[in-house]
Chain A
């Protein structure tokens, strides 16, 4: 009924708000974290002041957060919006415009199936903290993540630039290769928990194995976890898997993009990173579960809110980890990339399925 619609809109708004903000803040984190890791200062210049005398305290604050570089994302957005939006004469205007929107749209829509908390009980209603409660949520997320390839290929083809086309094809072959390892590695999880419903998967991770070890995916599927994280990182096309982009040397699919259309690709990158962090949390690190906390310690609603906090914290930790990996490892060579995808991750994930199956039968 109407109230359900309002609740769904509110949930969608919250998720969208959180995801976009996380992505935006990541541009700052990207700069700052890399700088701190490399003994640099990082972004610390962009700030503005208001011209009125009564704005002095605000200006003081603006200077402070400007000194932290927090206004750089804002400056970036202004820059991207005011830059010339260039479409090559040999390119296809419509597809060139469509490609970044496809990329960012499907990356955002995938969040609908991510549960970020336990059910909330308010005014006699049970509100699932998830935009869309799907039985096959895992398949839905995988499917939407795969559609992102279209954006990349379209961008490469619509640019009317041979180098961009090559970049797009490179991106496609990389994403296909890792898509398979990604999907196959998750079969272990499905086998173990026996469901495709993400909320259900999280609930089943609430147990303690042997009384002390949380029954998280990482504990029962360690190999699957490593394969998933590797393949998922490759899906985000970030270093060390940034061969589709590699703008300084090998030129990627968005070489002909400028302005906010380039910004959308940039945003997609960060949104996908958040998505991968959220999926890792959900599948392998207990989602919103807080280990060793007795289920009845607080009232159910407080527990649910604490769960949301735990989920957010876990996601942030993974974002930090992905960022650290990005600034630690050098880029793969293309043959190394393909070998890793097809000859190592794929057989390993197959082996993982077999081992899980055997283990599952034995444990039961």
Chain B
């Protein structure tokens, strides 16, 4: 089922939680809504579900407009962060609930409900636990039951709100892989909300990065990571370092020296230079490069993370160096980013130009 979100706006007490958001979700896609808290990702998910209604704009399921339909009519599956299982029902009763509450004309017979419940328990690898109550299950098991319950009604769209947020790291990784497998075998259009970029990048076909009630960028994990289109995405996804620079005559200048990056086509003015701390080349001498003094150096797993003070303003940038690279404090290091991007400082003229060396 395609889902189309068309210029949706949502206000809570005059505060705009979502600002004219548009998004196309393709049928069968696994899509992540990623953003810091307060970015509007959960609001968007609840609007798709019908748990809230947009202030303006429309949501389409396929060709039919869904935004004025009630949550019951939309036939979606929703998984909550804190499971929201029915405590007084067994696992099997929880899973069968969505079928049992159907009007008698469309309600499957009792035996069929039981059969489907045990089928779904197989799918979520919890067979044999039909008779347990939610309080007798671990967090990871509860979330699997919640997913089975959502799948039982054969939803047109599956929506998950920070589904692994309340679980510990080990279980989280395991469930992530397992959700991907389930998605691939059932083929539901799936939207999940997360603030964990690792989760979004690893799991999703496409990632929607959100900030302050708007969509910053939509793309595959590769596009999002390798080709961020805004300073926010660059800073939010993965590690990044930034340097205030000046563009003049197709050259990038750090204070009074050109640093050897070709910025032809970029109009003159002040800009921010973004690069990944590991995407750099170290240089011996320094004719056209960035040079700085090591201010701090830490060993992190298989590499060394170095903070460098650059230029007269002592702006700090972070680099990741191989462990064999000496980086004593006060020693000088010269480098040049291999992949980088310029974003003109707001208010100044000039379009940004993505660049790769």
A and B part of one assembly: no
> Residues of B at under 8 Å CB distance from A?
none
